[in-house]
Amino acid sequence: MPNVICWNCEKETDIKDNDYGEHNCNLCGVPIDVFNPALIEPYEPNGSEGEEEMGKLADRAKEKSPFIKLEIGEETPALVYKSWKETTDNFGNETFRYLFDLHTDNGIVTKQLDNRSQSFAEAMDKIAFGEKVILKREPKLDHEGEPVENKSIWTVKKVE
């Protein structure tokens, strides 16, 4: 039997695809549910589905995820800065984990960002717990001011 590929880190886990139930990825720790396909009822459209429903599942999964993931150039909605702690990332590197609350229509979701950057830590050190912030993932620039391919920096700004 093949192993399950984690939806978050996109790597093969130690979980077998017939080991039905709730699990956590052994690599990144996110929850993974393995379903028995024989118990899933086939989807039969009834014609009432509209285009406005498309993308809601992906949006909801992103909202519920504990991790902040952004593409280069994207920014978060307003987050409430909760705390930080020193921890080890999935690759064994020492890092800082910043915790935030995101207020959604479905309640409050705690989000986390692992970041080892000294400049990001200095920027976060100027923000008090409980303040609202927006995080942005910006392109890293070389010494000539040109974007470095696939490299980025995280920035933070207070919401006034």
Backbone dihedral angles phi then psi of residue 62, each to the nearest 5 degrees = -65, -40
Do 20 and 99 belong together in one domain?
no
Banded model confidence at residue 137, pLDDT cuts 50, 70, 90? very high
- The answer to whether position 104 is within a domain reads yes
Helix (H, G, I), strand (E, B) or coil at 15: strand
pLDDT tens per residue across span 14-67: 888 888 888 888 888 888 888 777 676 666 666 555 555 677 888 778 778 889
Do 83 and 154 belong together in one domain?
yes
- The answer to whether position 52 is within a domain reads no
**Can you give the residue range of the structural domain that contains 122?**
66-158
Helix (H, G, I), strand (E, B) or coil at 20: coil
Length of the chain as a residue count = 160
Do 75 and 26 belong together in one domain?
no
pTM (2 decimals)?
0.63
pLDDT tens per residue across span 104-115: 888 889 999 999
Do 70 and 136 belong together in one domain?
yes
Q: How many domains does the chain have?
A: 2
Q: What's the DSSP call for residue 75? A: B
Rounded Cα gap, residues 131 and 5, in angstroms: 37
